Amino acid sequence: MLLLAENIKKKFDKENVLEDISMEVKEGEVVVIIGPSGSGKSTLLRCLTQLEQVDAGRVEIDGKLMVDTVDNKAVYADSKTLHEILLDVGLVFQNFNLFPHYSVLKNIVDAQVQVMKRKRDEAKGIAMELLKKMNLSDRADAYPNELSGGQQQRIAIARALALNPKILFFDEPTSALDPELTGEILKVIRNLAQENMTMVIVTHEMAFAREVADRVIFMDNGLIVEQGSPEELFGNSVNQRTKEFLQRYSEN
């Protein structure tokens, strides 16, 4: 099991945002998380990638224990282990998070030099291969503000891939894009799925979720309400709350 999360709890200002969340992700699996705004989807991703700390629960990534609960308190691993786990995960944000004063190439190269300690020439070679994969070889010297939103998101994906993550998290990767540019990103993610990249994707694109996911998780009010294959969840969901949510989407 590449990712194992058990009984995750998280509060903000005494409000329960995640309540007893348990999930697992196998190597090569694409898990898509859907649900209404405020259901805890993005917070879950932030907890799994160490951007937020859980209040209780256990998380294990690639056999390394990130956090466990001891005497009702979340106890995190030592800094060396946490750093090793960070190298195993990549996170692509909805708002790209590129350095605006860096060129496209420098955005991808510097991450490798600083995080992976690669030689700059090696990092540049990897960056150019990834830009070719994203159909953006000709934009290596451009700056983020010279690119469309779809191009910036493809650069952000390339930067994440350059660090060789074992599991890649996407937090609403198309929500900042107009419909025309959304297709560019979904195509990239589709291709990664075909290459057996392990991914956890939070999205509001239901048709895409149905097409690309091995398993779909529906969250509401900080809970996993239902999960199953796309066929089970979209075609034969058993939970009334799931049915209501999907019905609303089909009407939009």
**pTM more than 0.75:** yes
Q: Hey, what are 234's tokens?
A: 């979209």
Mean pLDDT for the stretch of residues 51-64: 97
pLDDT (tens digit per residue) in 160-196: 999 999 999 999 988 878 887 888 888 899 999 999 9
Tell whether the model's pLDDT for residue 18 goes beyond 90: yes
Amino acid at 9: K
3-class SS at 150?
A: helix
pLDDT (tens digit per residue) in 61-95: 999 999 999 999 999 999 999 999 999 999 998 88
pLDDT (tens digit per residue) in 88-121: 999 998 888 899 999 999 999 999 999 999 999 9
pLDDT (tens digit per residue) in 122-153: 999 999 999 999 999 999 999 999 999 999 99
pLDDT value of position 61? 98
Tell whether the model's pLDDT for residue 41 goes beyond 70: yes
Spatial CA neighbour of 109 closest among 48, 99, 42, 200: 99
pLDDT value of position 252? 53
Q: Hey, what are 153's tokens?
A: 């998101």
- What is the C-alpha to C-alpha distance for residues 106 and 112, in angstroms, rounded to an integer? 10
pLDDT value of position 250? 64
Beta-strand pair 3-12/30-34: unpaired
Pair 30, 193: CB distance under 8 Å: yes
pLDDT (tens digit per residue) in 191-225: 999 999 999 999 998 988 998 999 999 999 999 99
